[in-house]
Amino acid sequence: MSELLLTGIGRLITNAGDPITDAAVMMVDGEISYAGTASDAPDQGGGDRIDCEGRAVIPGFVDAHTHVVFAGDRADEFGLKMQGASYAQIAKHGGGILSTVAATRAAGEEALFQEAATRVRRMIASGTTTIEIKSGYGLDLDTELALLSVARKLGHDLPVTVKTTFLGAHALPVEYRDDRKGYLDLVVEEMLPAAAPLADYCDVFVEEGAFSVDEARRVFEAAAGLGLGARVHAEQLSHSGGAALAARIGAVSADHLDHATANDARLLAESGVVAVLVPGASYTLRSPQAPGPMLLDQGVTVALATDCNPGTSYLESMGLVVSLAVVEMGLSAEQAIQAATRGGALALQMPDHGFLVQGSAADLVIIVAPSAVHIPYRPGTNLVWRTIKAGRVVAGAWH
């Protein structure tokens, strides 16, 4: 039996009630056995103990939308964006997703793993304990399967829980530029059946220049038949109808939502679809932030994620995402922390993650500050003192 007791917690965020001051947390065999006031904490046996010395503790970050497995970079495109080029203009001239597809296809599986593992280790050191990883930079059968295999290996070899998503319908590859139906046939009839054993979910980029609502519906119907839940890239660059589609098909999440309307929010709330917001992408693209406060007011469950990818959101820090959500999107610090932890867990259908109560997963972060408000307040600093995964210390930036 493994035991770990945290004492001297200045402020404990459980996401199951008000913050608790002068708190303690007891973990046994990877689960929380106690989280509450220090005065009521149970006696510890012979396990390990950490004195937090007044530091704050929050649940581990759950990054519910990433494209973290890829090769190459698109730094040149960043310069073009800063000069005023739009996402669509860059894509039209061979940049964007297809640029990363070319680099990713040329890389071997081992190289993809090593590059992604370096990124994920930095994420863990920044407090992330669970991560969703999408494919979508292969757009052919072999590379898509390699991306999903690498994602699964990351979850096996590193101290992080990984959920995988097949995103074959991310863009139209060059070799199918004049044959949309042919590529969709490939996705539905060959890629999806082969990818299903390696994936938890299926995603489609619903956007002008990517895939239509009707095309996405066909992919999602096939995915449902293979037991995969649906996630939807929706309303990012324009109002595409992706959010309404997510509500109609009972998707697990609708992601981005920069151009979501009040009616979209009502539909998402009624259908229980989680809104996964990615303020880093809006920041990099200089586009409007998703209407987070409006979504919350309408009763939508909101999650935050990095959208880590080489083109539009090369972010690895959930702490920075929290700060962007507060400063640019308008969430309160408390709302943003909850969205980055509990919201993300609900977006990945992990009801025992993202909060700290008896029986929940012992995934948590000790930060070098007396309260979690310091995370959005100090966005340029990694405030993580210790990352704890399944009751075990797995990273620490401060020594």
Give the pLDDT confidence score for residue 69 in this predicted structure.
98
Give the pLDDT confidence score for residue 84 in this predicted structure.
75
Is residue 66 within 8 A of residue 308, CB to CB? The reply is: yes
Q: How many CB atoms lie within 10 A of CB 175?
A: 11
Which CATH architecture does the domain made up of 61-234+301-347 adopt? Answer: Alpha-Beta Barrel (3.20)
**Same-fold call for 3-60+354-395 versus 61-234+301-347:** no
Give the pLDDT confidence score for residue 374 in this predicted structure.
98
Give the pLDDT confidence score for residue 120 in this predicted structure.
98
Tokens matching residue 126:
């920044």
Domain boundaries defined on the chain: 3-60+354-395, 61-234+301-347
Which CATH architecture does the domain made up of 3-60+354-395 adopt? Answer: Roll (2.30)
Collect the ranges in the chain with pLDDT lower than 50: 399
Cα gap 185→264, rounded to integer Å:
30
pTM across the whole model: 0.96
Cα gap 232→216, rounded to integer Å:
9
Give the pLDDT confidence score for residue 220 in this predicted structure.
98
Of 175, 143, 167, give the one whose Cα is nearest residue 66. 167
Give the pLDDT confidence score for residue 123 in this predicted structure.
98
Beta strands in the chain (DSSP E): 3-12, 20-28, 31-37, 48-51, 56-59, 61-63, 128-134, 161-169, 201-205, 229-234, 253-256, 274-277, 302-304, 364-367, 384-389, 392-395
Using the Cα atoms of residue 150, residue 70, residue 351 and residue 220 in order, give the sign of their dihedral.
Answer: negative
Give the pLDDT confidence score for residue 399 in this predicted structure.
42
Task: Encode pLDDT of 209-218 as tens digits.
Answer: 899 999 999 9
Q: How many CA atoms lie within 13 A of 319 on its CB side?
A: 24
Beta strands in 47-126 (DSSP E): 48-51, 56-59, 61-63
